[in-house]
């Protein structure tokens, strides 16, 4: 069975609004490595629209730093599933829209042959966490206090606390800390 990994950038105060922080080179390298270990990414509409068409354009034009360009190429090559009731079409060549039950679709995707599945963003990820379908959790924490913005796991309702075990941590030169957890 494939692993579903929730991975997200956040600030010290739990803000995961990309207008409040920018990923540095090492963070892009870290997420590029994660994407190379995956063959599918899962998003909601908002996160998808944040990422596309920006990253596919960077992949095409190679218009940023080396690490950002590599991230863009990795992002562009991975298949994507977007859960949305409002999107009529997608711009990305290897993306499909799913309108069916999130739980059923994620269970089906996890049972397929393949590499890891990455999920990012807040809305769909929160639902996946509530349903207990995430196998690993990766938080890349930037040394920033944003003060406002979309909050990590805001609105997640669990019947009981989810206990996690730290399995890896990395500190970048800029002070970002990548924390990788599995369920206990």
Where are the strands (E) in the chain, listed by range? 4-11, 38-44, 79-83, 95-98, 116-119, 136-142, 164-171, 177-183
DSSP for 31-49, written as a single string: HHHHHHTEEEEEEEHHHHH
Q: At what angle do helices 25-36 and 66-77 cross, to 10 degrees?
A: 30
For 104-144, how does the pLDDT look when each residue is reduced to its tens digit (9 = 90+)? 999 999 999 999 999 988 999 999 999 999 999 999 999 99
pTM of the model: 0.94
For 168-182, how does the pLDDT look when each residue is reduced to its tens digit (9 = 90+)? 999 999 999 999 999
Question: 127-146 burial, b for 16+ CB within 10 Å, e for fewer?
Answer: bbbbeebbbbbbbbbbebeb
Q: Where are the domains of the chain?
A: 4-170
Looking at every residue in the chain, the average pLDDT score rounds to 94
pLDDT at 155 over 90: no
pLDDT at 61 over 90: yes
Write down the CATH number for the domain with range 4-170: 3.40.430.10
Distance CA 15, CA 77 (A): 28
- Predicted confidence at residue 154, as pLDDT, reads 83
């Amino acid at each position: 069975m494939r692993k579903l990994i929730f991975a997200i950038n956040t600030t010290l105060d739990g803000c995961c609004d990309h207008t409040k922080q920018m990923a540095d080179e090492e963070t892009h390298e870290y997420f590029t490595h994660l994407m190379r270990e995956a063959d599918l990414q899962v998003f909601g509409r908002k996160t998808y629209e944040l990422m596309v068409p920006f990253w596919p354009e960077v992949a095409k034009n190679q218009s940023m730093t080396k690490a950002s360009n590599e991230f863009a190429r990795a992002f562009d090559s991975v298949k994507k599933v977007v859960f949305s009731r409002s999107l009529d079409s997608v711009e990305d060549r290897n993306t499909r829209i799913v309108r069916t039950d999130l739980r059923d679709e994620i269970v089906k995707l996890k049972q397929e042959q393949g590499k890891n599945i990455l999920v990012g963003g807040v809305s769909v990820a929160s639902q996946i966490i509530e349903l207990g379908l995430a196998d690993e959790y990766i938080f890349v924490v930037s040394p920033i206090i944003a003060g406002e913005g979309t909050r990590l796991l805001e609105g997640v309702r669990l019947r009981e606390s989810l206990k996690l075990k730290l399995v890896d941590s990395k500190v970048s030169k800029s002070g970002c800390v990548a924390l990788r957890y599995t369920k206990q």
